[in-house]
Amino acid sequence: MTKPIFEEYTISIEVNNHHIRLLRIGRHYLEKHSADMSDTLIIDLAYALHGHQFEVDSTTKGIEYFIADVEHGSPVKIYRLIFLIEGEQMEILGIVNAYRRSKRSKK
């Protein structure tokens, strides 16, 4: 049986003025970051994107990628989400990768 390349979750948030209804979490984070990350945590971090605008960080083959550093928990830890917005109505938020950062970058 083939492993899924992502898991899907229903969500309702606004990101970059798009109403996001579906969250797809890629399985890439499991390779190196599974000790610090889980789908549940990534869902919480995705909710923290609600109402925010993000500039395109990079474009590859016409796909725009965004980066967000999100503070979460107590004591506060910083997590980085690398994501894209897709779908016919830009209603899908795809998490390409997610990991815990040691400190906030100057980006």
pLDDT tens for each residue of 50-104: 999 999 999 999 999 999 999 999 999 999 999 999 989 999 999 999 999 986 5
Is 104 part of a structural domain of the chain?
no
Is 102 part of a structural domain of the chain?
no
The reported pTM is: 0.88
Q: Residue 78: give the domain boundaries.
A: 6-94
Is 99 part of a structural domain of the chain?
no
Cα(3)–Cα(21) distance, integer angstroms = 24
3, 24, 39, 42, 56 from 6: Cα distances, Å? 9, 6, 10, 13, 22
Is 106 part of a structural domain of the chain?
no
Cβ–Cβ under 8 Å, residues 93 and 11: yes
The domain tally of the chain equals 1
Q: What is the mean pLDDT of residues 35-46?
A: 94
Is 12 part of a structural domain of the chain?
yes
Is 54 part of a structural domain of the chain?
yes
Cα(87)–Cα(107) distance, integer angstroms = 28
Q: Which residues in 3-34 are b (16+ Cβ under 10 Å) and which e?
A: eeeeeeeebebebbebebeebbbbebbeeebe
Identify the three-state secondary structure at position 97: strand
